[in-house]
């Protein structure tokens, strides 16, 4: 009986040793899954509408503004905004909010992959499994391969279940203007209809003339229409 008990104890320690290391992850496999998941949803946001609330301020000038509107992505991928209401200083509207909306539309319409989070543009360094808002995520540090407009140095958090982005944050390595000292941002995503959609964007632009300008965008109430391919308006043969 004593030999049987000792044998069982040895087997137990062999299967689950005390102080066992947590499971290790393959960063290459995680990134491959992330790239695949990102490509699969790239055009699925076409035909979507979301409510947006944009708060912006220039603290040194004591000026603020809030814009409420609709963010539309057409079935062909064109991004437009419908402004429903604005309150605050018009200089904030024209020089902070409007410039952001214009830049976002230009980037999307260009379809420029030189700013995409892909190996051609970035070096990836795995930082481990983390937890954000109760969700398990894989964290990667990103370093751009070139000092080019639209690229940033920072971090990417990938959802451990579906391999879609949960958060991107960092500082752009090239400023869009000589009047800007730095641009820092954090983009948070959430799941809607199986897609990773924007949930919150926070940006701080440090200008040389008036100091920092802060902007926070909240996205809500997403609606989706069938994509162009699904309704048969465009086929893969004539794209």
Distance CA 72, CA 41 (A): 17
Classify 163 in phi/psi space as left (phi over 0), alpha (psi -120 to 50) or beta. Answer: left
Question: What is the spatial distance between Cα 63 and Cα 56, in angstroms, rounded to a whole number?
Answer: 9
Cα end-to-end distance, the chain, whole Å: 75
Q: How far apart are CA 104 and CA 183, in angstroms?
A: 15
Domain boundaries, the chain: 24-231
Q: From the options 3.30.70, 3.40.1350, 2.50.20, 2.40.230, give the CATH code of 24-231.
A: 2.50.20
Does residue 230 surpass a pLDDT of 80? no
pLDDT, residue 226, reads 64
User: Per-residue pLDDT tens for 74-116?
Assistant: 988 889 999 999 999 999 999 999 989 988 888 777 666 778 8
Residue 228 binned pLDDT confidence (cut-offs 50, 70, 90): very low
- Residue 194 — pLDDT band, cuts 50, 70, 90? confident
H helices of the chain, where? Answer: 2-15, 27-41, 90-92, 98-110, 228-231
């Amino acid at each position: 009986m004593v030999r049987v008990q000792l044998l069982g104890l040895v087997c137990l320690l062999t299967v689950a040793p005390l102080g066992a290391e947590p499971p290790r992850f393959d960063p290459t496999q995680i990134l491959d899954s992330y790239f695949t998941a990102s490509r699969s949803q790239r055009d699925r946001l076409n035909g979507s509408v979301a409510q947006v609330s944009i708060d912006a301020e220039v603290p040194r000038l004591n000026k603020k503004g809030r814009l409420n509107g609709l963010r539309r992505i057409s079935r062909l991928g064109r991004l437009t905004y419908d402004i429903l209401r604005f309150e605050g200083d018009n200089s904030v509207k024209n020089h902070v909010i409007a410039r952001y909306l214009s830049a976002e539309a230009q980037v999307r319409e260009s379809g420029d992959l030189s700013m995409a989070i892909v190996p051609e543009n970035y070096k990836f360094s795995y930082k481990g499994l983390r937890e954000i808002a109760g969700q398990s995520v894989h964290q990667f540090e990103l370093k751009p391969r070139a000092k080019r407009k639209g690229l940033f140095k920072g971090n990417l958090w990938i959802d451990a279940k579906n391999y879609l982005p949960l958060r991107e944050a960092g500082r752009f390595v090239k400023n869009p203007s000589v009047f800007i000292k730095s641009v820092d941002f954090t983009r948070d995503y959430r799941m809607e209809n199986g897609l990773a959609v924007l949930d919150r964007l926070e940006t701080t632009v440090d200008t040389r003339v008036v100091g920092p300008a802060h902007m926070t965008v909240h996205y809500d109430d997403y609606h989706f229409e069938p994509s162009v391919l699904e309704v048969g308006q465009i086929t893969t043969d004539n794209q």
